[in-house]
């Protein structure tokens, strides 16, 4: 009861806050239809603008004498705004623009009535935006003539429709739309739906107006249009219920690189349509590769936009991993057509309701279409690792939470919400099993199509699906799931066995990286599924028991009583997001099996990764010893899978990054030896280049080579140095370029640095620049590195930020010039704050903390916090630094002592 009351309070407070949210529209207005006419001018750099008119049909739920809409950065001539109804015109007394709240308020001379339908007409104009929001411009150059072509395209999510036209810009206020676009004949105009008819512009020569078919009820953030001069890429068609026509549009010079992703889209859509048993409702989809884009891609109905670099792929120049990640982005956008577009969250506090399922179904779709890639498990494993780290610190927040104003809404779009959201959906899937989960998801889409929802709606449909399968024991889905979405953090379940009676005692506490007296008690509804050594079935994922909330411990009699020399493992495939600790004897039984049994005794690779991750985290906090943790790692020479290797190497590197001087060297020796067993199984760089290797092998060997060369394994550095930069650059296998370049710079001379920097500055190979930047960062000579870093800071190119981050990441990891590099970052904080985006700044700040190279003095800290993009990451950094310092003083010696035994 306690926890239930706690949730009610939370829910109530969310409700109350949003009612008082000064940024929210009132609930009085119900838009029904928008008629939008936009004339776009693309006549050169100083003539990038639009003018338009919106007609909104709406009614009111209560009498009112004013109308509040959203508008931002639009010029509106109040004298031309009209409001009418069948009974005549209603005069407008005055209009008020609230720039801060992004509101446009009209005061009327008469009261609006519930029974009347109104038509509001607002003419407006504005510049095409240059920062990828609202209605913005982008451009590309003809590779032969150097002529610049401009294009205009929208990015309305989450709160930017109001920059393009006045509207009721909240996701639950769905309405139908009819869009008419005016533009010069040299261009093509697109919107969500196909063109219905075109006619000449009434006055402007060579301009036309094209009216698009109406679009069904949709949120404003999903409306889209574009005027451009891109080239069409032929796209294979594929059976979908409504014979959807796909077209892709890119700038001429990348047409040949657009085929793979262009052709993937119809397959993805068709797969999802079948899986969700709800056909995609539009007749066409245009995919637009835009040179600049605020995000990676945007799922607008029927007009999906991509950052160009996420839509084109060149196998000879780009890594396989990047092809996989672009495919994953694409699958995510198409999953949104159901999760987000058809069924929309009422408000941005529940953003995870669209991002979680889209991420999860994106993975499922790639697994179905590209089974040999093995993407799903690798991506889950990566999400799990991120989640377990991020959600164990004090500043973490629930995925479902109150948001106010555009800035706080934008911040919701964080990696954390996507990943924990996806893990939450996966948990639901595994908890309920395929049959109930899919039947629940299908009814969810069907029941709420064209409507908007809160998370309770999802729980409710799932609960109905559970009840429909009466054999299943009744679980209150909402009670269970709320405990995961409405509170931050996650539990650790401690398992203690009684080896005489074969019973098991379990209890839960929240897992914190640093325990603190102030931490409030919390608990979760935790499904418990045990696997025993004799019946090592890791596919059986439905709960056998529940650890309920607020009761936090239980003694259980397992169905299959384990004998005293048999291990048990809780949480097969890490279906629910919690850590597990066992008693010492059970840990040792597990360790024995991993070290000796055929195929690791059937222990699933996600569990092998998680066992190491958990035990290292427990040892970090002194809840277990490093002796025990390292004895678990002893099995690694037998390990052939990517997931456990990737996880443990990331964990170990986080320890190693904090060490300095002698300890850092001991650590180097340790990793060199550890990774040798993995490295030896990989083909030589030369044969990796010639054989057609699978994505899985490339991924695993890339990890092996990266670690081996980073820690100086001789065979690796020799192989890398076997390529001479002057002549052999083309021969280096694409997926290993950064590693080879880095090693060559690390052990090379000044001439090589000069050469690579020249290539970076002169060559037009955009796709090689990351590898060059990473390579240059490996220099042992700071004077040289500084030249490069300064060059990046002076450059005006938009992509510079990434290269700066890549170069300093190398420098900090190699440790030769880490201190100077950290100082370079701090000294140039103001420039970086201007040039880099928030995500890049965050990675810089975290990089400083993770490498513990520099102690930022209090006054410097205050100065940095005055820089907008630094403020939040620094708060996180201060907290993480405390965590790291505690480990350095209390645990690092023990870590080194045990590790030394293994070198």
Residues of this chain that bind ligand NAG (CB under 6 A) = 64-66, 73, 75, 105, 126, 130-131, 145-146, 149, 184, 186, 229, 242-243, 252, 394, 516, 518
Judge whether 867 and 829 are in contact, CB under 8 Å.
yes
- Please give the Cα distance from 454 to 326 (Å, whole number): 30
- Partner that binds at residue 821, options ligand NAG, Zn ion, none, CB closer than 5 to 8 Å by kind: none
- Partner that binds at residue 145, options ligand NAG, Zn ion, none, CB closer than 5 to 8 Å by kind: ligand NAG
140-169: contacts with Zn ion (CB under 5 A) = none
- Partner that binds at residue 325, options ligand NAG, Zn ion, none, CB closer than 5 to 8 Å by kind: none
Structural tokens at position 511: 């897992």
Q: x/- site string to Zn ion, residues 352 to 371, per CB under 5 A? A: ---x--x-------------
The CB-of-358 to Zn ion minimum distance in angstroms stands at 5
Judge whether 255 and 289 are in contact, CB under 8 Å.
no
Q: Which is nearer to ligand NAG, 75 or 694 (CB)?
A: 75
CA distances from 50 to 123, 127, 194 (A): 11, 6, 21
Cα 261–265–268 angle (5° rounding)? 125
DSSP assigned state of 133: S
- Partner that binds at residue 516, options Zn ion, ligand NAG, none, CB closer than 5 to 8 Å by kind: ligand NAG
CA distances from 197 to 177, 182, 230, 432 (A): 16, 12, 21, 49
The CB-of-146 to ligand NAG minimum distance in angstroms stands at 4
- Partner that binds at residue 712, options ligand NAG, Zn ion, none, CB closer than 5 to 8 Å by kind: none
The CB-of-100 to ligand NAG minimum distance in angstroms stands at 10
Q: Which is nearer to ligand NAG, 65 or 860 (CB)?
A: 65
DSSP assignment string, 497-560: EETTTTEEEEEEEE--SS--TTPPP----EEE-EEESTT--TT--S-SEEE-SS--EEEEE-SS
Q: Which is nearer to ligand NAG, 13 or 243 (CB)?
A: 243
Q: Which is nearer to ligand NAG, 502 or 878 (CB)?
A: 878
The CB-of-359 to Zn ion minimum distance in angstroms stands at 7
- Partner that binds at residue 535, options Zn ion, ligand NAG, none, CB closer than 5 to 8 Å by kind: none
- Partner that binds at residue 859, options Zn ion, ligand NAG, none, CB closer than 5 to 8 Å by kind: none
Q: Which is nearer to ligand NAG, 158 or 543 (CB)?
A: 158
Q: Which is nearer to ligand NAG, 75 or 715 (CB)?
A: 75
- Partner that binds at residue 229, options Zn ion, ligand NAG, none, CB closer than 5 to 8 Å by kind: ligand NAG
- Partner that binds at residue 730, options Zn ion, ligand NAG, none, CB closer than 5 to 8 Å by kind: none
Beta carbons within 8 Å of 314's beta carbon, 6+ residues apart: 257, 767
- Please give the Cα distance from 444 to 423 (Å, whole number): 19
Q: Which is nearer to Zn ion, 169 or 355 (CB)?
A: 355
Q: Which is nearer to ligand NAG, 62 or 754 (CB)?
A: 62
Q: Which is nearer to Zn ion, 359 or 699 (CB)?
A: 359
- Give the H/E segment covering residue 284: strand 284-290
- Please give the Cα distance from 615 to 620 (Å, whole number): 8
Shortest CA distance to 127 belongs to which of 105, 150, 157?
150
- Please give the Cα distance from 199 to 850 (Å, whole number): 61
Indicate the length of the chain as a whole number. 903
User: For residue 645, which phi and psi values (nearest 5 degrees)?
Assistant: -65, -45
Cβ atoms < 10 Å from Cβ of 137 = 21
- Partner that binds at residue 146, options Zn ion, ligand NAG, none, CB closer than 5 to 8 Å by kind: ligand NAG
DSSP assignment string, 643-662: HHHHHHHHHHHHHHHH--HH
The CB-of-878 to ligand NAG minimum distance in angstroms stands at 9
Can you list the alpha helix ranges (DSSP code H) found in 59-119?
A: none
- Please give the Cα distance from 6 to 14 (Å, whole number): 13
The CB-of-862 to ligand NAG minimum distance in angstroms stands at 18
The CB-of-751 to Zn ion minimum distance in angstroms stands at 46
The CB-of-65 to ligand NAG minimum distance in angstroms stands at 6
The CB-of-64 to ligand NAG minimum distance in angstroms stands at 3
Shortest CA distance to 722 belongs to which of 686, 698, 689, 754?
686
Structural tokens at position 28: 């009085």
**CA torsion, ordered 151, 157, 159, 163, to nearest 10 deg:** 10
Q: Which is nearer to Zn ion, 103 or 409 (CB)?
A: 409
Q: Which is nearer to ligand NAG, 243 or 563 (CB)?
A: 243
The CB-of-593 to ligand NAG minimum distance in angstroms stands at 39
The CB-of-490 to Zn ion minimum distance in angstroms stands at 23
- Partner that binds at residue 452, options Zn ion, ligand NAG, none, CB closer than 5 to 8 Å by kind: none
Q: Which residues bind Zn ion (CB under 5 A)?
A: 355, 358
């Amino acid at each position: 009861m306690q926890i239930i009351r706690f949730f009610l309070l939370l829910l109530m407070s969310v409700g109350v806050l949003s009612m008082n949210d000064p940024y929210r529209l009132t609930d009085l207005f119900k838009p029904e239809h928008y008629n939008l006419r936009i004339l776009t001018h693309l006549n050169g750099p100083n003539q990038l603008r639009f003018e338009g008119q919106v007609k909104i049909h709406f009614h009111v739920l209560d009498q009112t004498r004013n109308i509040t809409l959203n508008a931002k950065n639009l010029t509106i001539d109040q004298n031309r705004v009209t409001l009418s109804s069948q009974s005549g015109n209603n005069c407008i007394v005055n209009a008020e623009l609230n720039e801060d709240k992004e509101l446009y308020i009209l005061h009327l001379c008469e009261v609006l009535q519930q029974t009347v339908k109104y038509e509001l007409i607002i003419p407006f104009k504005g510049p095409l935006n240059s920062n990828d929001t609202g209605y913005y411009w982008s451009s590309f150059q003809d590779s032969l003539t150097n002529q610049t072509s401009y294009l205009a395209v929208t990015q309305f999510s989450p709160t930017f429709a109001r920059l393009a036209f006045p509207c009721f810009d909240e996701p639950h206020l769905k309405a139908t739309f009819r869009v008419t676009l005016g533009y010069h004949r040299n261009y093509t105009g697109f919107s969500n739906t196909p063109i219905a008819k075109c006619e000449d512009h009434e006055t402007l020569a060579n301009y036309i107006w094209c009216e698009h078919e109406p679009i069904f009820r949709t949120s404003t953030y999903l409306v889209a249009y574009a005027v451009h001069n891109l080239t069409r890429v032929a796209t294979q068609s594929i059976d979908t219920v409504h014979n959807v026509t796909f077209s892709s549009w890119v700038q001429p010079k990348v047409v040949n690189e657009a085929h793979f992703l262009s052709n993937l889209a119809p397959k993805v859509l068709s797969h999802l349509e079948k899986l969700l048993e709800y056909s995609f409702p539009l007749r066409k989809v245009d995919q637009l590769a835009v040179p600049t884009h605020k995000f990676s891609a945007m799922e607008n109905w029927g007009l999906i936009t991509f950052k160009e670099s996420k839509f084109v792929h060149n196998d000879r120049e780009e890594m396989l991993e990047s092809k996989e990640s672009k495919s994953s982005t694409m699958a995510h956008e198409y999953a949104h057509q159901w999760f987000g577009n058809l069924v929309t969250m009422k408000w941005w506090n529940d953003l995870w309701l669209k991002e979680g399922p889209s991420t999860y179904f994106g993975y499922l779709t790639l697994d179905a279409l590209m089974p040999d890639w093995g993407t799903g498990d690798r991506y889950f494993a990566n999400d799990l690792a991120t989640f377990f780290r991020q959600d164990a610190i004090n500043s973490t927040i629930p995925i479902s939470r109150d948001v106010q104003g555009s800035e706080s809404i934008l911040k919701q779009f964080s990696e954390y919400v996507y990943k924990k959201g996806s893990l939450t959906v996966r948990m639901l899937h595994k908890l309920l099993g395929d049959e109930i989960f899919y039947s629940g998801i299908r009814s969810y889409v069907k029941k709420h199509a064209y409507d908007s929802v809160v998370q309770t709606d999802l729980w409710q449909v799932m609960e109905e699906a559970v009840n429909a399968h009466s054999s299943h024991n009744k679980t209150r889905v909402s009670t269970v799931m709320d405990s995961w979405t409405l509170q931050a953090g996650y539990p650790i379940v401690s398992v203690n066995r009684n080896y005489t009676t074969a019973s098991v005692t379990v209890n839960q506490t929240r897992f914190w990286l640093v325990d603190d007296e102030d931490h409030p008690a919390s608990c979760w509804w935790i499904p418990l599924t045990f696997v025993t050594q004799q019946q090592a079935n890791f596919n059986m994922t439905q709960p056998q028991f529940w650890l309920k909330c607020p009761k936090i411990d239980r003694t259980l009699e397992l169905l299959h009583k384990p004998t005293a020399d048999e291990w048990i493992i809780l949480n097969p495939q890490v279906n629910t997001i919690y850590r597990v600790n066992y008693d010492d004897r059970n840990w040792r039984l597990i360790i024995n099996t991993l070290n000796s049994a055929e195929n690791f005794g059937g222990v699933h690779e996600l569990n092998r990764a998680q066992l190491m991750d958990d035990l290292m985290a427990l040892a970090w906090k002194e809840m277990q010893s490093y002796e025990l943790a390292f004895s678990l790692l002893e099995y690694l020479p037998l390990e052939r899978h990517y997931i456990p290797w990737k996880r443990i190497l990331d964990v170990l590197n986080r320890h190693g990054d904090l060490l300095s001087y002698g300890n850092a060297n001991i650590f180097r020796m340790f990793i060199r030896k550890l990774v040798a067993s993995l490295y030896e199984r990989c083909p030589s760089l030369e044969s990796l280049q010639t054989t057609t290797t699978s994505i899985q092998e490339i991924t695993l060997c890339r990890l092996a080579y990266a670690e081996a060369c980073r820690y100086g394994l001789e065979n690796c550095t020799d192989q890398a140095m076997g390529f001479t930069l002057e002549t052999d650059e083309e021969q280096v296998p694409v997926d290993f370029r950064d590693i080879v370049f880095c090693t060559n710079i690390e052990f090379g001379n000044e001439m090589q640095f000069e050469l690579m920097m020249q290539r970076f500055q002169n060559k037009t190979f955009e796709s090689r620049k990351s590898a060059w930047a990473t390579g240059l960062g490996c220099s042992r000579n700071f004077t040289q590195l500084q030249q490069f870093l300064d060059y990046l800071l002076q450059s005006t190119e938009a992509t510079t930020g990434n290269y700066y981050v890549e170069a300093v990441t190398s420098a900090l990891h190699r440790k030769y010039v880490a201190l100077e590099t950290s100082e370079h970052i701090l000294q140039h904080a103001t420039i970086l704050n201007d040039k880099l985006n928030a995500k890049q700044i965050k990675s810089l700040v975290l990089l400083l903390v993770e490498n513990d190279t520099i102690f930022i003095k209090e006054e410097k800290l205050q100065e940095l916090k005055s820089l907008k993009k630094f403020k939040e990451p620094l708060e996180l950094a201060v907290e993480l630094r405390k965590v790291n310092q505690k480990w350095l003083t209390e645990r690092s010696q023990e870590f080194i002592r045990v590790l030394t035994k293994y070198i």
